[in-house]
């Protein structure tokens, strides 16, 4: 085959000089005499793109002749995988056994020579060495035909135990390919403990379904798979994580069309491996030089958040003189950007940025401060700046508690150096993975927990079990536990016509005598609810609850959210609600109903979201609740603020010998179980009442938290077929009673409250629709809330008047149990008043069967159902029948 024509492709001597590269100057021997002059001549080069460029491609029949013997036009059968692998192994062995150099017998071809030949002192040796170096540099940027696509690889191919990582930032090609192979096999083959199938293929599929740009990888999983790889990741994350990201992108693009380059936008062409759960947690104040450029894990609270900026990730330039493009250049803080000279006009500059081709990524700064609980007394909390990039931006808010895994880095700070006249570097944490505490949307429920939750929802008495599991260490107070359970789950947020938003959160006010565990209820909610913020009325002002306008470190005005803003999508707990000033309580009006906080100060006009439920606790004005006075007389709260609470709970400290004895037994057993040095026998001790076969079995607290998260995430009940006439009649009747008898005000807001309560009851049973039973339960809760806010005489009359609603909402067994409790309480009080000396033996207090039947008929309870209840274990464990009398078992 004849050689190509043209000045740019003809060899000058025809010897063992290699062909000149098209578009570049001829190479000269740097070791020969006059090498420097030759280098200068090389800089000029030969213009291959001049006016005569087209003459090189003119047709010339005399020269356009090819030797048929050197052309292979025959067809070949397709290679099998074994043949191709054998050929690749043979070529790899040939490449490792010798070196390439030009073949002098055939101009333009390369032949394999030994190292001794390359070292021979002939005129072409230096030139061959330079050419070989150029080929090696070019091969580093080529995609070698490796076996990354092959998932069935023997362990020896990716074993890193005998490998060593050099000190140079740039890894050798062989080790880099082995690390990629190791991580690729980890994604396909790693099986965690307790599972029978690989974990991460399913995680990859979920990542593609949700179109996420990161994959969460547990650090302990990497340790179990390859201890050497996990060590390198912890010690050299800046070198290892880009390799893992590239491997993840390759595998995701190979399996899912979503991550192919033509499909992805330009600013989303990279996936990220988010390593989390690093085993060593470092306090922020203890980060020092030994942690620089290493993987660290810190806990803290976000105090500030900047805006989202665009950071240059890959730069494309154009020559300002000729407009020829140049690039791409990967921009990194640890290396300088040197564009060099223009390929077209050989100019050294100036350059202008090609803004359409240049790739950017999101960049945000937050300030992470030590948690107040972790700071030693007398010390100020330390803070550290954290950099969020990519899809991590705007995922955290001020007030969030974070578990952050990142890279501790140092950066040159000119301002600090100028101020201190000393070379000081500032430090920051580059985030790799950030997990918010109490985030319902990001909380993950395992398959085993999901199965347990669905099985639990099938229980016929799941409502009673769920309510009984709220604050199990607190005895009794069923109505308060019901209100708290419904507030934690909440209803459904709606947007009416005209963009009017109707809140779905349920607000609750608890008022009662001292010593009835009101504050303990709030502390329980803080620990159990996915997201809760606790504050006190005496220690919080209006701006502390809503929002404040302050100056930042640059002197600019900025907004800082209060407790209700920080509790967005959660619960705001306010203790000592009655101790707040009236002006501070007035600021809550908008936040509790419209769930927004409007700010118009210092030139800032904004509206902040406060989509949270409010659970407030207050004490009566006189110290103890007086049942002979109305609710408004007992609590110094205005009607506008009371109407914004969906439920009111009144706790009264009343004397009951049986209940007091059970309460004392419950408290003593709780103290014995909770002792830090309690033995196994002591931890299993139970009160006398629980030792009997109870009709309600509480749910385990860990399972209860998962149940709440699942219900808030997945269950969204719809109101379709409910009895609208029953709701309308109930509202008409109770509103008439509210105006005639006083008590808590009843407004149109309480119609929405009943609907929210019905939706929350449906969430308890994980149903996607509201039934008539949910409506009856919601009406019963609202009615009990209204009756408790009345005077004692009025409340008894209301119970008789609204008996049909109570009967529909309360199971017959509970109605009969309450009826017996009331009869025994009245009988005990009569005996105590009639006798001068009362021995207090409650087991001898009897109630006649005729009185029981009379009360059953007055309360319209089915007599057959009452007989059925008397045959249950619940009745036999608490009462005994002797002749025509019923005695209580104490």
pLDDT tens-place string over residues 797-856: 787 777 777 766 666 677 777 778 778 777 777 776 666 445 556 667 788 888 888 777
Rounded CA-CA distance 88/82 in Å is 10
In tens, the pLDDT along 645-685 reads 888 888 888 777 777 777 888 888 888 877 777 777 777 77
Summarize the confidence of residues 425-430 as an average pLDDT.
87
Rounded CA-CA distance 136/249 in Å is 26
Report the pLDDT value the prediction gives residue 438, as an integer from 0 to 100. Answer: 63
User: Which of 86-90, 388-392, 396-400, 464-468 comes out lowest in average pLDDT?
Assistant: 396-400
Report the pLDDT value the prediction gives residue 406, as an integer from 0 to 100. Answer: 93
DSSP 398-460: TT-EEEEEEEEEEEE-HHHHHHHTS--EEEEEEEEEEEETT-TTT----HHHHHHHHHHHT-T
Report the pLDDT value the prediction gives residue 773, as an integer from 0 to 100. Answer: 87
Rounded CA-CA distance 469/472 in Å is 5
Angle between helical axes of 447-457 and 701-714 (0-180°, round to 10): 90
Report the SS3 class of residue 641.
helix
Tell me the pairing of strands 351-353 and 359-369: unpaired
In tens, the pLDDT along 34-54 reads 444 444 444 455 566 666 666
In tens, the pLDDT along 157-207 reads 888 888 887 776 677 888 888 899 899 889 988 888 878 888 888 888 888
Using alpha carbons, list the distances in angstroms from residue 500 to 495, 503, 569, 606, 614. 6, 10, 19, 18, 21
- Look up the pTM and report it: 0.65
Rounded CA-CA distance 226/233 in Å is 11
Whether the CB-CB separation of 610 and 591 falls below 8 Å is answered with yes
User: Looking at the predicted structure, is the pLDDT value of residue 138 above 50?
Assistant: no
Rounded CA-CA distance 430/293 in Å is 10
Band of residue 317 on the pLDDT scale cut at 50, 70, 90: confident
pLDDT over 90 percentage in the chain:
7
Band of residue 7 on the pLDDT scale cut at 50, 70, 90: very low
Band of residue 150 on the pLDDT scale cut at 50, 70, 90: low
- DSSP bridge partners of 610: none
Report the pLDDT value the prediction gives residue 742, as an integer from 0 to 100. Answer: 64
Band of residue 146 on the pLDDT scale cut at 50, 70, 90: very low
Rounded CA-CA distance 854/870 in Å is 16
Q: Name, of 56-60, 356-360, 749-753, the range with top average pLDDT.
A: 749-753
User: Which of 414-418, 422-426, 726-730 comes out lowest in average pLDDT?
Assistant: 414-418
Summarize the confidence of residues 325-340 as an average pLDDT.
72
Burial class of residue 201, CB neighbours in 10 A (0-12, 13-18, 19+): middle
Report the pLDDT value the prediction gives residue 729, as an integer from 0 to 100. Answer: 86
pLDDT over 70 percentage in the chain:
78
Residue scoring higher pLDDT (145 or 55): 55
Report the pLDDT value the prediction gives residue 47, as an integer from 0 to 100. Answer: 60
Report the pLDDT value the prediction gives residue 28, as an integer from 0 to 100. Answer: 42
Whether the CB-CB separation of 736 and 462 falls below 8 Å is answered with no
Report the pLDDT value the prediction gives residue 270, as an integer from 0 to 100. Answer: 75
Whether the CB-CB separation of 368 and 298 falls below 8 Å is answered with yes
Summarize the confidence of residues 436-444 as an average pLDDT.
66
Rounded CA-CA distance 700/682 in Å is 19
Closest CA to 512 of 534, 549, 479: 479
Rg, Å, the chain Cα set: 39
User: Looking at the predicted structure, is the pLDDT value of residue 499 above 80?
Assistant: no
Helix then strand then coil, in percent of the chain rounded to 5, is 40, 20, 40
Report the pLDDT value the prediction gives residue 485, as an integer from 0 to 100. Answer: 92
Rounded CA-CA distance 57/464 in Å is 90
Summarize the confidence of residues 370-394 as an average pLDDT.
83
Residue 558, H or E segment: strand 557-561
**CB neighbours of residue 127 within 10 Å:** 20
In tens, the pLDDT along 574-630 reads 888 888 877 777 878 888 888 888 878 777 787 778 888 999 999 888 878 888 888
Distance spanning both ends of the chain, measured CA to CA: 112
φ and ψ at residue 361, rounded to 5 degrees: -140, 155
Q: Name, of 247-261, 281-295, 315-329, 793-807, the range with top average pLDDT.
A: 281-295
Rounded CA-CA distance 565/435 in Å is 19
Closest CA to 815 of 869, 765, 779, 775: 869
User: Which of 117-121, 185-189, 692-696, 846-850 comes out lowest in average pLDDT?
Assistant: 117-121
State the chain's mean pLDDT as an integer: 76
User: Looking at the predicted structure, is the pLDDT value of residue 106 above 70?
Assistant: no
Report the pLDDT value the prediction gives residue 661, as an integer from 0 to 100. Answer: 78
Report the pLDDT value the prediction gives residue 506, as an integer from 0 to 100. Answer: 92
Rounded CA-CA distance 505/609 in Å is 13
Residue 362, H or E segment: strand 359-369
φ and ψ at residue 457, rounded to 5 degrees: -65, -20
- DSSP bridge partners of 436: 402
User: Which of 113-117, 262-266, 696-700, 727-731 comes out lowest in average pLDDT?
Assistant: 113-117
């Amino acid at each position: 085959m004849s050689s190509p024509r043209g000045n740019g492709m003809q060899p000058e001597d025809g010897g063992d000089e290699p062909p000149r590269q098209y578009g570049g100057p001829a190479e000269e021997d740097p070791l020969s005499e006059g090498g420097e002059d030759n280098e200068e001549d090389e800089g000029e080069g030969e213009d291959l793109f001049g006016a005569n460029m087209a003459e090189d491609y003119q047709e010339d029949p005399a020269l356009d002749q090819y030797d048929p013997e050197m052309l292979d036009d025959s067809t070949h059968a397709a290679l099998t995988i074994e043949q191709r692998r054998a050929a690749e192994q043979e070529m790899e062995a040939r490449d490792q056994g010798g070196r390439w150099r030009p073949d002098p017998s055939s101009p333009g071809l390369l032949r394999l020579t030994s190292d001794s030949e390359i070292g021979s002192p002939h005129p072409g040796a230096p030139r061959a060495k330079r050419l070989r170096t150029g080929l090696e540099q070019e091969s580093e940027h080529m995609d070698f035909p490796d076996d990354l696509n092959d998932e069935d690889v023997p362990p020896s191919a990716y074993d890193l135990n005998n490998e060593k990582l050099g000190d140079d930032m740039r890894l050798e090609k062989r080790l880099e390919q082995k690390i990629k192979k190791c991580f690729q096999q980890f994604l396909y083959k790693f099986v965690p403990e307790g599972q029978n199938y690989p974990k991460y293929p399913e995680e990859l599929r979920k990542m593609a379904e949700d179109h996420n740009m990161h994959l969460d990888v547990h650090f302990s999983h990497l340790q179990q798979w390859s201890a050497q790889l996990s060590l390198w990741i912890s010690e050299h994350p800046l070198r290892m994580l880009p390799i893992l990201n590239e491997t993840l992108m390759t595998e995701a693009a190979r399996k899912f069309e979503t991550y192919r380059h033509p499909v992805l936008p330009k600013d989303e062409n990279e996936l990220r491996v988010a390593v989390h759960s690093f085993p060593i947690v470092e306090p922020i104040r203890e980060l020092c030089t030994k942690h620089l450029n290493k993987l660290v894990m810190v806990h803290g609270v976000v105090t500030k958040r900047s805006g989202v900026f665009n950071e240059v990730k890959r730069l494309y330039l154009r020559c300002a003189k000729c407009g020829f493009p140049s690039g791409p250049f990967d921009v990194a803080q640890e290396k300088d950007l040197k564009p060099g000279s223009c390929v077209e006009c050989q100019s050294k500059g100036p350059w202008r940025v090609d803004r359409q081709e240049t790739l950017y990524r999101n960049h945000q700064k937050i300030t992470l401060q030590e948690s107040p609980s972790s700071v030693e007394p007398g010390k100020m909390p330390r803070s550290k700046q954290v950099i969020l990039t990519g899809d991590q931006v705007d995922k955290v808010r001020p007030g969030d508690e974070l578990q952050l895994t990142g890279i501790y880095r140092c950066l040159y700070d000119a301002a600090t150096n100028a101020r201190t006249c000393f070379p000081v570097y500032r430090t920051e944490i580059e985030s790799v993975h950030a997990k918010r505490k109490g985030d319902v949307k990001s909380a993950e429920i395992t398959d085993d927990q999901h199965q347990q939750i669905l099985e639990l929802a099938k229980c016929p008495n799941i409502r009673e079990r769920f309510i009984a599991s709220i604050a199990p260490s607190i005895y009794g107070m069923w109505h308060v536990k019901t209100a708290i359970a419904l507030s934690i789950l909440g209803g459904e947020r709606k947007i009416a016509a005209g963009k009017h938003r109707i809140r779905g959160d349920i607000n609750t006010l608890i008022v009662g005598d001292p010593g009835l565990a009101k504050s303990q209820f709030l502390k329980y909610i803080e620990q159990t609810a996915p997201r809760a913020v606790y504050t006190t009325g005496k220690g919080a002002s209006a701006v502390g609850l809503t929002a404040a306008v302050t100056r930042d470190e640059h002197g600019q005005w900025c907004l800082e959210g209060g407790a209700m803003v920080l509790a967005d999508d959660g619960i705001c707990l306010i203790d000592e609600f009655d101790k707040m000033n009236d002006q501070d309580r007035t600021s809550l009006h908008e936040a509790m109903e419209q769930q927004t906080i409007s700010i118009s100060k210092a030139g800032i006009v904004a509206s902040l979201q406060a989509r949270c439920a409010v659970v407030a606790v207050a004490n009566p004005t006189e110290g103890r609740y007086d049942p002979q006075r109305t609710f408004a007389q007992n609590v110094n709260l205005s009607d506008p603020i009371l109407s914004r609470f969906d439920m009111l709970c009144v706790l009264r400290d009343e004397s009951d010998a049986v209940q007091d004895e059970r309460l004392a037994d419950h408290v003593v057993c709780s103290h014995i179980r909770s002792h830090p040095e309690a033995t196994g026998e002591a931890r299993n001790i139970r009160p006398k009442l629980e030792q009997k076969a109870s009709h309600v079995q509480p749910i385990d607290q860990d399972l209860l938290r998962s149940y709440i998260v699942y219900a808030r995430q997945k269950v969204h009940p719809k109101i379709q077929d409910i009895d609208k006439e029953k709701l309308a009649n109930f509202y008409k009747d109770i509103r008439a009673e509210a105006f005639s008898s006083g008590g808590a005000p009843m407004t149109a807001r309480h119609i929405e409250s009943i609907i929210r309560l019905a939706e929350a009851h449906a969430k308890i049973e994980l149903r996607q629709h509201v039934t008539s039973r949910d409506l009856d339960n919601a009406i019963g809760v609202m009615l009990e809330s209204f009756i408790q806010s009345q005077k004692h005489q009025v409340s008894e009359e209301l119970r008789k008047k609204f008996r049909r609603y109570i009967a529909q909402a309360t199971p017959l067994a509970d109605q009969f149990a309450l009826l017996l409790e009331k009869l025994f309480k009245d009988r005990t009080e009569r005996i105590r008043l009639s006798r001068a000396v009362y021995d207090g033996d409650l087991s001898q207090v009897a109630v006649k069967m005729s009185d029981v039947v009379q009360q059953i008929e007055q309360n319209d309870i089915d007599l057959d159902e009452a007989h059925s209840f008397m045959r249950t274990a619940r009745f036999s464990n608490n009462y005994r029948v002797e002749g025509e009398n019923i005695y209580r078992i104490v």
